[in-house]
Amino acid sequence: MSIHSPVQFPVQRSLFAVGLVAAVVLALVQGGEDPAITRGRELFDKTFSKAEGLGSPDMNADTCRGCHADPVLGGAGALELNVTRFAFDNGGAGPFQNLAGGQAASKLRPPHVTWREEAAVTADCFEQRQTPSILGDGLIDTIPDAAILANEDPNDLNADGVRGVARQVVINGLTEIGRFGWKAQIPRLADFVRDAMFGELGITTSNDGRGFAGVIDSDGVPDPELNDVQVGNVHAFMASLPAPVRTGSNDPRVALGQQIFTEVGCAKCHVPALQGLSGPVPLFSNLLLHNVMPAGYRGMAEPGAGVGLFRTPPLWGIKHTAPYMHDGRAADLRAAILAHFGEAAIVTANYLARSVDERDALILFLEDL
């Protein structure tokens, strides 16, 4: 079968899904799963209702599963699940300005609301955001700040054109390093739970003092709409999600592809592993912000993460998460490589300078992750 066969990707995806589901069933049968994880899975898979506080009044989905389900529960989301962000940048001349209501335009509304949030009429800058997979995020949560900071090179001291910088998030006067989200705006997985509950579903949680929770809304349902035990259960489930496992192909072209991956410079940003608390985490990311957008790119800016700066996405399981890039602009892995400009311009040129066979081998390696 050709590596470009339209049926190979679904077959790989289904095998991965079957393997993960089998592992979960085995754990349940053996009685080895923490009850908090079981309850967290139920909440992650739950369709919330108006009576439970769904919508604030806006939302992007009525369940966590609604976005994170590809190829399995906790995975990525398809292109049609993209959300839109908006701002004003004066036609690209600047300065960048957030508008009333913030950057996010909600996609949906619960049945009792007769309107939904739209982008401000004065917005002239828009950016799509793709739903990332959260498989393996529990391992990423164990990576110390020092392991991320060790790969920073904001001034390009080694003159390779790559200038990775860690996202610094100030919480209660202290600086923490971001790990999650396209702009690495979320330091901890527990923060992600509270942030997503309110930002995506409109479900309030208690104020834990870290600034990521939506603690009150006007829907008439008593706040918090999800209590601390429930939040902890969702966190436990998400932290338990296993990282994607390499296929482990013995095809010599895969080994060649890994060699090419390093030689052309992909591994400068997609570092094969970072040291976690329990050993190496093979995520193929440095978790740093890089600008690989084309010249003149217009998008969202945040404190510590300017226009065009995005966290290097982990590559583990990448064969299951098409389309690629922060906005889904690349339909396949070849297109994703060619969509790298800016800091990655030299790397892209190196890739194009390789033979067709070597470029094919690189794709085979990525499909093995």
> Which tens digits make up the pLDDT trace of 37-59?
999 999 999 999 999 999 877 78
CA distance 347 to 349: 5
- pLDDT at residue 218 in the model: 86
Number of C-beta neighbours around residue 299 at 10 A: 21
Q: 16 near 321, Cβ under 8 Å?
A: no
The answer on pLDDT for 20 being more than 60 is: no
CA-to-CA distance for 78 and 237, rounded, in angstroms?
22
Condensed to tens digits (0 to 9), the pLDDT of residues 220-275 reads: 899 999 999 999 999 999 999 999 999 999 999 999 999 999 999 999 999 999 99
Provide the residue type at 158 as one letter.
N
| Mean pLDDT for the stretch of residues 161-181 | 97
Cβ atoms of 313 and 298 within 8 Å: the answer is no
pLDDT-derived band at 18, boundaries 50, 70, 90: very low
